[in-house]
Structure 1
Amino acid sequence: MGSSVRDLAAATPASRDKYIDLLRVASLGTVVLGHWLMAAVTVGGDGKVEVGNLLAVRPGLQLLTWVLQIMPVFFFVGGFSHALSYRSLRKKAGGTSVYSAFLRARLQRLLRPTVVFVGVWGAAAVLLELGGGGGGLIDVSLRLVAQPLWFIGIYLAMVAFTPPLLRLHERYGWGAFGGLVAGAGCVDVLRFVVGVSYVEFLNFAFVWLAVHQLGFLRADGKLRMPGVMAGCGVAGAVLLVAYGPYPLSMVGMPGEKISNMAPPSFALLCHGVWLVGAVELLRGPATRWLRRPRVWRAVVVAGGVSMTAFLWHLTAMLGVYGALLALDVPLPEPGSGGWWAQVPVRVVVAAALTGVLVGAFRGFERPGAGGESRVPSGGAGAVAALGVTLCLFGVLGLSTVGFGGILEGRSAMLVAVRVTAPVAVAMTLVGWLLVERAGRGRRVVAGERERAHSA
């Protein structure tokens, strides 16, 4: 493996933006570490196991989310990568529709490991329920392990909307970003000033797509004043939290009436702008650091397994707590000195267990054959759009309802629709198959490809 990684790193084109790869790996790694640190597992007097949030127990630590809530950076990186990928396919395909090929190319390394994760946990949930197992930490795990899938759903939407939003960007530039920002602001005005609550879910689109749009601007070299961006973003977030209805934490807190995350708020958008400006300020020194061969090889290795690690990191964390409970190791009060003393051990063991899971499932993250040598068949774009829509609602539904009670018909509300785990699993699987089928198209030989491109 070492030689192949070394060869892959050495073969990196000089034109590749290595800093983008570093940001992708670092943002997912920060999320994983944050989840490991924030999990506060307790056992009540009745023996009931609960998983809380350290930030709710120690509210003074919520300011850390202004640095550790780094998902906006991943979505910014996604915008950059999606713009380059779509333009490359569009150029190669000429007048041929590239939408289905673009979806398949961008979603292979996302959907394949996700479908495997859903399949493994879905099967485990069915077997546990049929066997009468469960209880304690197992029931909690069946609910919690699916929660990070919300990120997959949002990312699917970003990929699906890339072509029309990229056209808007190419026509209006900063104006397209400004329109999304204005939309997010209007939603919060209607929500908090006028009292129209049902529009709040629109900010799942406006806020995250605005951050994604910053990636388009970065791809065209139009983010020229990152210091101003960072300053305006952090100033806006501070003012909104200090004088508005927004909470301090940039992640959701148990029991809170207003969240900056679900649905995303205008304060979270300001937070995203500040983070994008901040990482752009670090571009110069980080790029020089990445010139070191060992550093770049480490990024290449991490980038090849980052999505698999993200999907399975909560499974590993809950496995660590399960082992502690099985061995009757006392769990100190979250935030206490004893609790912090256990943190290094829990994190190291969780990282090791994540490594084992990555070793087992990393093969599904490897991209398959690309779509550059294929021409999409008629209607492929519509099939791909249907597929990505089904996947989007499927994984969002699973993140809401979890895998618990999968045969009992347990349900949860996704926006205004009630979903169950079996339906969500089925939508995810069918959607993935449609995206795969539509993106394959038909293989063409060189002469036919030239005719298709010139048509």
Structure 2
Amino acid sequence: MRRLVGVLAVTIAALTFGIVASRPAPPPAEVPPGSDFAAAARTIEALLDPASGIDPIALLPADFSTVEKVVPGRLRAPDGTMRAVHVDGGCSTPLGDENTRWDYSVGCKAHDLGYDLLRYAEKKGHPLPADLRRRLDDQLSRDMHKQCELNPQNSAGLCEMVADLYTVGLVVNSWHQRWGPPRAEPISSWAVGLLVVIFLFAGRPPWSRRSPAPGAPEAPPVDYMSMLRVLSMAGIVVGETVLAFTHASGFWLLQLAPLLFFAGGHANVLAWRSSEGDYGAYLAIRIHELLRPVFAFVLAWLLIPLTLELLDAPDGTIASVGPLVLEPLWVLGIFLITVAACPAMEWLYDRFRAAVPLAFLVGSTVVHAIGSTDAYLLVSGLLLALGFGQLAFHWEDGPLRQVPRPVLIGVAVAALLGFVFLRYLPLLGIAQVSLACTVRTFHWVPARAIGFLRSRPMTVYLVYVGLVLLYAGLTSSVGLDWFTRPRTWLAISMITAAILVAFFWYERRPRPVAALVGPVNGVQALACVLGVGYATLGVLGFAVTGVTWHIGAPALLGMALDPLANLIHLMLGGYLLHVVHTGKSGRTWPWLLTAAACVPPILSTWSPFGTVVHGATAVVALAIAGHVTVVRIRTKATVVNAG
């Protein structure tokens, strides 16, 4: 048991540190440097050259003590030089100064004053160059080793070892902060959050393997629409790759989101009509099927920043490669909402027919013209998705198939020309759908290849991302030694491990089609609604926050988000859907875990709306857990008394 606890603790610590380490460097300054910036830089330069005789205290910015609440002073170092120090500072590492007998205090306090100056410059709106933090760390390391020469305390070897440990801690801590201004880390809240994620994983997320239930339906056959779904998503990913490396903003041929909404809408139509009106069952099964590829994007989110760091890719590469994750996630997040809206879309289709997609496309255009914030873009994209998804009803029921090919080709050409001149995305979508509908025979569909891609999306996508990352690192390399660096092979090992996990853990064997245990109602329906809601929030959250930690918390519809909150939302949504599938929503443990999962997002990304949402979910979950527990106790007591 102790070994298991130790492994769990190390895992949580490593994940916490690794994810925090994936943050980008601080954003560029938005204000020009002033005299206080220059004074801070000169003071640090004086700190780094104690033998020069220059007094750093005399160079401090006039408002330094007021801004930083720091008392500077002077102390003589063991080597005889006079040092400017943070009087109340010290060696703030696990082997703190009071726990060593070699007295590193002067060097540590001087180092603390240098860090205070780095923080001061950031508060003034212009962070100092990263090289200064590196040099401050190097200076402290030299001071510690010098102390081992001057005052070894009959244990020079041990003193040197402790100094080396301090140095390693300095380098690692500065690296994971990208050598930017020192700042407090959310380690505790991230550790709690990742502990929740581990428990959610242990609860068998919906993409985990399970034996098919008796009478479970067979996997749907590969058809023309399946091919369109696979190829359109692949086109989106490839298109983002082209944009990442060529920055060709006019590369529009692979903007296939409208075609994906059309083909995906067809899958929604078939699933809804086969559910015989059981909305809960339809929703749980349909979302369940879509979360597995989402998990591949999350793995890529974890891989990209650290891998590019190890491959020595240029600083801007993360921003360029990030859309490989962000764009598909944004599209999938919107598509999850269209899944939930399918019954309402059929109601509109039955009553208004062709007027519905036209109304949605016009509405999308109007919303996009009104504003360009995330909220407006989300609503505009959703209306666009609903409009093209509505066309799937017309395909399935026959009207689109009956339109003569010359008419469809004419519409496609006209729409394409309109898009070229107006850059109006719905026109491109109309051209794509029109051309797709000209196909009348489907025997030529490569069923085996499409079936492979459809059944192993995580593996295929991660292999592709791995190749892109290696290409990004290789093109930034300046010599053949890139192949022999340990960092390169560590990055390759990380990519390979993710691919192997995706394949052997999830996709080595064909996955059975989801089947629910009984009808979805009552508490099970609530679990389904919460699962869909949090899964969608997690997907859209990743699209908003990006592949790295942001300075400050981005928001979606007023809810502050960060990558950990997104991961918890996604995992919680998947876990609740899994609970619905297995018929365990009437037990206590899932609801206690749901309540616990709502705590870390409140701690790490506080916002009024987010607190209300998570707080209400936690209260409801605890109430259900209490009710379920009481019912189970009473039932057990009744059985005992009857016996």
Cα deviation, residue 17, structure 1: 6.6
User: Do the aligned partners of residues 123 and 423 (structure 1) sit closer, same or farther apart at CA in structure 2, a change above 3 Å counting?
Assistant: farther
Alignment match, 2:263: 77
Q: Is the Cα–Cα contact under 8 Å of residues 181 and 210 in structure 1 kept in the other structure? A: yes
Is 2:333 aligned against 1:168?
no
Q: Is the Cα–Cα contact under 8 Å of residues 401 and 421 in structure 1 kept in the other structure? A: yes
Is 2:462 aligned against 1:269?
no
Q: Is the Cα–Cα contact under 8 Å of residues 122 and 403 in structure 1 kept in the other structure? A: yes
User: Do the aligned partners of residues 416 and 234 (structure 1) sit closer, same or farther apart at CA in structure 2, a change above 3 Å counting?
Assistant: farther
Cα deviation, residue 390, structure 1: 1.7
Structure-1 separation of matches of 2:334 and 2:312 = 31
Cα deviation, residue 218, structure 1: 1.1
User: Do the aligned partners of residues 413 and 181 (structure 1) sit closer, same or farther apart at CA in structure 2, a change above 3 Å counting?
Assistant: same
User: Do the aligned partners of residues 36 and 374 (structure 1) sit closer, same or farther apart at CA in structure 2, a change above 3 Å counting?
Assistant: same
Cα deviation, residue 237, structure 1: 5.3
SS at match of 1:235: helix
Structure-1 separation of matches of 2:248 and 2:304 = 31
Cα deviation, residue 119, structure 1: 5.7
SS at match of 1:210: helix
User: Do the aligned partners of residues 38 and 239 (structure 1) sit closer, same or farther apart at CA in structure 2, a change above 3 Å counting?
Assistant: closer
Q: Is the Cα–Cα contact under 8 Å of residues 100 and 384 in structure 1 kept in the other structure? A: yes
Structure-1 separation of matches of 2:304 and 2:472 = 19
Q: Is the Cα–Cα contact under 8 Å of residues 79 and 215 in structure 1 kept in the other structure? A: yes
Q: Deviations over 1:350-397 (max 9, x none)?
A: xxx999965541353554562255322414333322222222222222
Structure-2 separation of matches of 1:198 and 1:116 = 26
Alignment match, 1:212: 389
Alignment match, 2:203: none
Match of residue 473, structure 2, among 322, 327, 330: 322
Structure-1 separation of matches of 2:240 and 2:300 = 21
Structure-2 separation of matches of 1:156 and 1:198 = 17
Is 2:244 aligned against 1:39?
yes
Cα deviation, residue 151, structure 1: 2.1
Match of residue 232, structure 1, among 411, 415, 418: 411
SS at match of 2:549: coil
CA RMSD of aligned residues (A): 3.9
Q: Is the Cα–Cα contact under 8 Å of residues 262 and 389 in structure 2 kept in the other structure? A: yes
SS at match of 1:55: coil
Structure-1 separation of matches of 2:292 and 2:382 = 24
SS at match of 1:376: coil
User: Do the aligned partners of residues 99 and 140 (structure 1) sit closer, same or farther apart at CA in structure 2, a change above 3 Å counting?
Assistant: farther
Is 2:579 aligned against 1:437?
yes
Cα deviation, residue 149, structure 1: 1.6
SS at match of 2:554: strand
Structure-to-structure mapping, 1:15-414, within 5 angstroms: 18-40=223-245, 53-56=246-249, 62=250, 64-65=251-252, 67-90=253-276, 98-115=278-295, 117-118=297-298, 121-122=301-302, 136-137=313-314, 140-141=317-318, 144=322, 146-147=325-326, 148-188=328-368, 190=370, 199=376, 201-223=378-400, 224-225=402-403, 227-232=406-411, 234-236=413-415, 238-239=417-418, 242=421, 246-247=422-423, 267-284=424-441, 287-290=442-445, 295-306=446-457, 308-310=459-461, 313-326=464-477, 328=479, 360-362=501-503, 363-364=505-506, 367-368=511-512, 370-371=514-515, 374-405=518-549, 410-414=552-556
Q: Is the Cα–Cα contact under 8 Å of residues 395 and 424 in structure 1 kept in the other structure? A: yes
User: Do the aligned partners of residues 209 and 175 (structure 1) sit closer, same or farther apart at CA in structure 2, a change above 3 Å counting?
Assistant: same
Cα deviation, residue 439, structure 1: 3.8
Residue identity over aligned pairs, in percent, reads 23
Q: Deviations over 1:232-280 (max 9, x none)?
A: 35524534653xxx54xxxxxxxxxxxxxxxxxxx21121111011012
User: Do the aligned partners of residues 69 and 133 (structure 1) sit closer, same or farther apart at CA in structure 2, a change above 3 Å counting?
Assistant: closer
Q: Is the Cα–Cα contact under 8 Å of residues 335 and 385 in structure 2 kept in the other structure? A: no
Q: Decide which moves more: 363-372 or 22-31.
A: 363-372
Cα deviation, residue 87, structure 1: 0.9
Q: Decide which moves more: 389-398 or 360-369.
A: 360-369
Structure-2 separation of matches of 1:310 and 1:178 = 34
Structure-2 separation of matches of 1:329 and 1:155 = 44
Cα deviation, residue 113, structure 1: 4.3
Name the amino acid aligned to 2:576: L
Q: Is the Cα–Cα contact under 8 Å of residues 121 and 403 in structure 1 kept in the other structure? A: yes
Q: Deviations over 1:321-357 (max 9, x none)?
A: 2244457379xxxxxxxxxxxxxxxxxxxxxx99996
Structure-2 separation of matches of 1:138 and 1:191 = 31
User: Do the aligned partners of residues 440 and 170 (structure 1) sit closer, same or farther apart at CA in structure 2, a change above 3 Å counting?
Assistant: farther
Structure-2 separation of matches of 1:354 and 1:122 = 10
SS at match of 2:515: coil
Structure-2 separation of matches of 1:405 and 1:135 = 19
Alignment match, 1:4: none
Name the amino acid aligned to 2:472: Y
User: Do the aligned partners of residues 311 and 107 (structure 1) sit closer, same or farther apart at CA in structure 2, a change above 3 Å counting?
Assistant: farther
Number of residue-to-residue matches in the alignment: 347
User: Do the aligned partners of residues 300 and 306 (structure 1) sit closer, same or farther apart at CA in structure 2, a change above 3 Å counting?
Assistant: same
Name the amino acid aligned to 1:361: A
SS at match of 1:371: coil
SS at match of 1:68: coil
Name the amino acid aligned to 2:247: L
SS at match of 1:427: helix
User: Do the aligned partners of residues 436 and 187 (structure 1) sit closer, same or farther apart at CA in structure 2, a change above 3 Å counting?
Assistant: same
Q: Deviations over 1:146-185 (max 9, x none)?
A: 3132122122112121122122223332232233123224
User: Do the aligned partners of residues 189 and 137 (structure 1) sit closer, same or farther apart at CA in structure 2, a change above 3 Å counting?
Assistant: closer
Cα deviation, residue 215, structure 1: 1.4
Larger gyration radius, structure 1 or structure 2: 2
User: Do the aligned partners of residues 314 and 411 (structure 1) sit closer, same or farther apart at CA in structure 2, a change above 3 Å counting?
Assistant: farther
